[in-house]
Chain A
């Protein structure tokens, strides 16, 4: 297992910060404090944070906040952002209505 994700590692206590109210994920309105608390609750990967808080799961699909969330989680874990595995990538890459997503045209144009 990746060392960063070792849950037995002591990352210290969650300490409230003055900017905990700052919105990070603009679409789902997730704050910095929520992300920090989630890390201390044991959610160490970006994928987990996305599922737990919906940060990066809104209309823009993390286009704006992905790097910001990564930075916050990394800092909380005491590692560099580059060491963190980014969230998984999957279709659709852009917001799309369900009726369009379900309307597959097999033959091409």
Chain B
């Protein structure tokens, strides 16, 4: 995962909690427990968190501190969850949000 910073010149090797598996639109992905869902998705290279209700435009991380609410997704069935401030847990089901529901996946 090349988006992860392995060693930082000032912060050194950043310690992570244990590795967990979660699901993004059904796809199995690895991340670290306790890190924001948004960080795990970013590290895995996913940037689109939702499509807007009126214009159906893609949105992703914008403020990353829970203020702008642009990064909301459907988490374990619950919509409008701010993924930048919600810690990742083993087995979480994360879905791209479309308006206020989960995006229907094309088969």
Provide the main secondary structure of the chain A interface.
Answer: loop
> Size of chain A's interface in residues, with CB distance under 8 A?
11
Give the A-B contact count at a CB cut-off of 8 A. Answer: 32
- With A26-B59, A59-B80, A95-B80 known to touch, is A64 a contact of B53 (CB < 8 Å)? no
State whether A63 touches B52 (Cβ < 8 A). Answer: no
Query: Is A63 touching B80 in the complex (CB atoms < 8 A)?
Result: no
Specify the chain B residue showing the minimal Cβ separation from A97. B80
A26–B68 CB distance below 8 A = yes
- From B54, B59, B62, B69, name the one whose CB has the most chain A CB atoms within 10 angstroms: B69
Give the shortest distance, in Å, between B5 (CB) and chain A (any CB).
27
**A60 interface residue (CB < 8 Å to B):** yes
CB pair A29–B55 under 8 Å, yes or no, is yes
At the interface, yes or no: B41 with Cβ under 8 Å from chain A?
Answer: no
Q: How far is the CB of B3 from chain A (nearest CB, A)?
A: 24
B80 closest partner in A (C-beta): A59
Please name 13 pairs of A and B residues whose Cβ atoms are closer than 8 Å in the assembled complex, sorted by A.
Answer: A26-B59, A29-B53, A58-B69, A59-B72, A59-B80, A60-B67, A60-B70, A63-B67, A63-B69, A64-B62, A64-B63, A64-B68, A94-B66
